[in-house]
Structure 1
Amino acid sequence: MTERKKVLITGASSGLGEQMARTFAASGRDLALCARRTDRLHRLRKELLAAHPGITVSVRGLDVNDHQQVFAVFHALRDDLEGLDRVIVNAGLGKGKPIGTGRFDVNLQTAQTNFTAALAQCEAAMEIFRTQRSGHLVVISSMSAMRGLPRNLTTYAATKAGISALAEGIRAEMTATRTRITVTTLHPGYIATDLSAGAAKSPLMTTTEKGVRSMVKAIERERPEAKVPAWPWVPVGFLMRHLPLRIVAR
């Protein structure tokens, strides 16, 4: 399998993106990191270079809802590293309110960030990969994509189902045309991050470090799809798909 030396990660200033950057840096990868909070990006860059002086780390500010900026930043980071081998579409929001309760503004922001902005990132990444005729697109979805979910999760789950289908469609084309471009969709379960800090506590929650180790392992294997960590989320995913909706909705 081709070694993916040059890795771009969006939403890299905190949570899963920040920890993935640390994990890939430890394995000697050159990194292109982008997020809105550039102060945290520069602090992370300093940390990574101090711990792993042989790597290159390029950082750029990026609001993924500025779609023109997505294309500009991806191309600039590609130029910084003289190519990109892997792009991880990670930036997202976890906000949401029950449908019809007067908070369309909140749900719209989540839909725009988690789906439309993810589409822009996939477009920009695939444009680069098609030109290079190689690359690995990784889309961070969620176990919430397995089924429609109630209350505050309704819009969030719908956006994650959407980007899972988007990634699968891209994968279908790349498979049919036998390119050297691969596509991986990750469905993380409950992993402790800034995004999940306000969520209800669950015995299924795992630490950021453990969760990201399982994510990176699946990414490095370039699996088409993975539920991570595999335990307990592979069996939980099966149950989510097949149990009656009234049970899943609890």
Structure 2
Amino acid sequence: MRKNVLITGASSGLGAEMARQLAAQGHHLALTARRVDRLEELKNEIGAAHPGVEVVVHALDVNDHDQVFAVVRQAAADLGGLDRVIVNAGLGKGGRIGTGKFAANKETAETNFIAALAQCEAAMEHFYERKAGHLVVISSISALRGMPSSMTTYAATKAGIAHLAEGIRMDLLGRKGLDIAVTTIFPGYIASEMNEKVEQEQKLMVDTATGVRSMLKAIEKEVAEASAPQWPWAPLGQVMKHAPLGVVRKLV
């Protein structure tokens, strides 16, 4: 089992729920986010429920790239090495391109792609040193096609990190002596703090615990790619990839 797990963006939503469920499975955790007060609350909650699980917390703004590398190194030292890093921190701001929302779109692009690149770099440096590890990148089902309106930049960044993960995976092919895996998760509509204020009703939404359970099932298998929940998003993903834009527009 990949025992020691670092999660970015762990103060709420999918990140916090992954921490709860991984702790229940006996994983030791390094939890990072900007909101340290929430991380401390989560640490206390996990400690009360699972006293044998070690939890360390670190303040981390993933857009501070030097801090990303420093925190990964410190968390590795805290736990005696990291077995898995889950690149989860993300942002959902944005607006239709050409409508004066460049600042929000830029912030999303920097957080979801450039900062994710820094996290992948830091994690893979550690894994190459140890010759073992599991990099997990949380993309989105929206990455499978270009998305309209406020989703345009978000979807593009999630497509970008999915390709980034695939490139890292390809780099590992044929390299002997390395026990390093790379997994990309494409969550469908899972209830979280990021989407709770979205005005339009999102079809096929599942609760946070159910969605995260599906994500972790794929992560534990260390598959290359997985939609979560698998049903209905695995078949719907294929439709999204190949259907005409007008059909995709109706789906989203």
Measured after TM superposition, the shift of residue 219 of structure 1 is 0.4
Aligned-residue offset at 1:202? 2.4
Task: Name the residue aligned to 1:74.
Answer: 72
The one-letter code sitting in structure 1 at the alignment partner of 2:223 is: R
TM-score with structure 2 setting the length: 0.97
Segments of structure 2 that go 5 or more residues without pairing to the other structure are none
Corresponding residue for residue 224 of structure 1:
224
The TM-score normalised by the length of structure 1 is 0.98
User: Secondary structure of 1:11's partner?
Assistant: coil
Report what 2:188 is aligned to. 189
Choose which of 136, 139, 148 in structure 1 pairs with 2:146.
148
Cα distance between partner residues in 1 of 2:155 and 2:17? 23
In structure 2, what residue type is equivalent to 1:226?
A
Indicate the SS of the match to 2:5: strand
- The residue number in structure 1 matching 2:47 is 49
How far apart are 1:249 and its partner, in Å? 2.4
Aligned to 2:122: 124
Q: Can you list the C-alpha shifts for 1:206-242, whole angstroms capped at 9, x where unaligned?
A: 0000000000100000010000000110111011011
Q: 2 CA distance for matches of 1:237 and 1:28?
A: 32
The gaps in structure 1 that reach 5 residues or longer are none
Query: How do 1:170-185 and structure 2 match up within 5 A?
Result: 170-178=168-176, 179-185=178-184
Residues paired across the two proteins, number? 248
1:84 counterpart residue number = 82
Deviations 1:105-146 (A, max 9, x none): 000000000000000000000000000000000000000100
CA RMSD of aligned residues (A): 0.8
Percent of pairs with identical residues: 61
Q: CA deviation at 1:78?
A: 0.4
| 1:12-37 alpha-carbon deviations (Å, 9 max, x no partner) | 00000000000000011100000000
**Secondary structure in 2 aligned to 1:194?**
coil
Matches of 1:43 and 1:174 in 2, distance apart?
38
Spell out the pairing of 1:19-58 with structure 2 (5 A cutoff).
Answer: 19-58=17-56
Q: Distance in 2 between matches of 1:203 and 1:102?
A: 28
Q: Using the TM superposition, name which of 91-100 and 199-208 deviates more.
A: 199-208
Partner Cα distance (1:104, 1:245) in 2: 24
Confirm or deny that 1:139 pairs with 2:137: yes
CA positional deviation for 1:203 = 3.4
Q: Which amino acid aligns with 2:192?
A: T
Contact 2:189 2:203 in 1 (8 A): no
Separation (CA, whole Å) in 1 of partners of 2:140 and 2:241 = 14
| Partner AA of 2:102 in structure 1 | F
In the alignment, which residue of structure 1 is the partner of 2:6? Answer: 8
- The offset of 1:245, in angstroms, is 1.1
